[in-house]
Every structure is written in C-alpha cells, then in structure tokens.
A and B are shown apart, each in its own frame.
Chain A
Amino acid sequence: MELSISYFALYREVTGSDTEAVSSEASNPAELFAECQARHPGLERFEASLVAVNDEMVNWETPLSGGDRVLFFPPVAGG
C-alpha cells in the first residue's frame, strides 16, 4: 500500500526530509518506523517518541491503511 510519512524536528534533521511517499506492507506504525530506520541510519525510536495518523494521535500498534498519512514525532518538549 502507498503511505505518506512526515518527520518532525530531530527526525527531519536525521532523515534530511520532511515527507516521503513510500510503498510498504507495514501493518502498523511500529513496523513502518523500523522500515524507515533501515533507510535512515541514526533514526531512533525513543520511549517518548509519538506517532499520529491522519492528524490523530495513535499508538504504535494501530493498524495502517493505504493512503494513510503517518507522522513521526520525536519526544516533544513544549512549555
């Protein structure tokens, strides 16, 4: 299935990209992130890393569907 991936803050710096269009069979964000790590050395998933799909916060095991827009967030630091 075709997915769009967006990286923010540190993740954008490490991958050198804002957004990627990928073809993937990953069933959830955790698997998708692991695929991204294979493409981007230095991309790390921290305990406090977060993920959103189509602008909704989800957990790492939420099933993905074709066309989803997956957002990978390094640990947040507002306030």
Chain B
Amino acid sequence: MFEISDGLLQPQDLAARLADPTCGGYVSFEGWVRNHQDGRAVKALEYEVYRPLAQSEGEKVLAEARERFEVIEVAAVHAAGHLEIGGLAVWVGAVAHHRAAAFDACRYAIDQIKVRLPIWKKEFYEDGDSGWVNCEQCAAHGHAHHAHAGHEHNH
C-alpha cells in the first residue's frame, strides 16, 4: 500500500493496518518536519507532488522491498501540501516474521522514496525567504543561502 495524503498522517492508524498474527517484527520510519536546514531557521514547508508518477513509483518501490526482503508487508504514506514544524512528512512501515527483514525493507523503502519519487520540498524560512531543497540553483535564483545539491537531507 502506497498513498499520498493531504491530511495529517496518524502513525498508529497506519501501523494498525499492518497487524498480522504471523509477524513478530514491526519496524517503522517517520520523517518529521525539522525546524532548521543548513543553519537556517525553518518555519514551515510545502511538498509538491506529481501524483500519477509518485503513486506508481511508490508502488514499485514497495514491490521491490517485498521482493528483496522476507517481509510480509511494507507500506508507506507521503504527505502533500503545507506542513508545520514537527509534522509527519512520511511514514514507512514493514512487518516480518523476524525483525531483520523488517528493518531492511523499511530502510530500503525510505531511501528509494527519497531519491525516486517526483516530490519536491519548498522550505519557508523564519527570515521570510523560501527555497527548494536539493536544488543548487537556489543560490543563483536570488536566494542568499549556499548551494547544497547532492547533500544528504536526513530526517
């Protein structure tokens, strides 16, 4: 199951969907909206999502995770639109008979989601400026902050 959501994500509801009596391990990842980026104070952000392809590519990533690891199910939901600090931007959950596969599948899914899905993050800073994350052009585009392309943005 892969979903793009406009509403607030509720991790406990998402996890409940994965419940399976044969599974002894549940691993989840939550990506939260952080209040700083490259030394700048972030006030909020907005995700732009190209839904047709984000959906199909998200489903592909989950199918690959199921194929590569001994999981019973792996699921993910990504938020779209405006999010405040602390908001849940992305959730990934994996269940397996044993924990190792659940950890591996969860890690694989979030790593692939971050680099493959057509989703863009625009940050709004406390100083009133804004910028697209992972976009080195920000510097040439009239924004004061330094280029940061290719830089790992860990949640």
Which positions in A face B, CB cutoff 8 Å?
8-10, 13-14, 42, 44, 46-48, 50, 52, 55-57, 71, 73-79
Contact = CB atoms under 8 A, between A and B. Distances in A.
Interface of B: 31, 47-50, 52-54, 56-57, 78, 89-90, 110, 113-122, 132-137, 140-141, 149-150, 153, 155
A78 B52 contact: no
Name, among B31, B48, B117, B135, the residue most crowded by chain A CB atoms within 10 Å (CB to CB).
Answer: B135
B118 A50 contact: yes
A77 B117 CA distance: 8
A76 B119 contact: yes
20 contacts: A8-B48, A8-B120, A9-B132, A10-B135, A14-B137, A14-B141, A42-B141, A46-B135, A46-B136, A46-B137, A47-B149, A55-B52, A55-B53, A57-B57, A76-B116, A76-B119, A77-B120, A78-B49, A78-B78, A79-B114
B153 to A, nearest CB: 7
Closest 5 CB pairs of A and B: A78-B119, A9-B120, A79-B114, A77-B121, A77-B133
Contacts, number: 93
Given A44-B137, A48-B150, A55-B56, A77 B116 contact: no
B124 to A, nearest CB: 14
A10 B155 contact: no
Contacts of B47: 78
A74 B120 CA distance: 8
Given A10-B120, A42-B141, A74 B132 contact: yes
Nearest to B135: A10
Contacts of B48: 8-9
Nearest to B119: A78
A47 to B, nearest CB: 7
A71 B135 contact: no
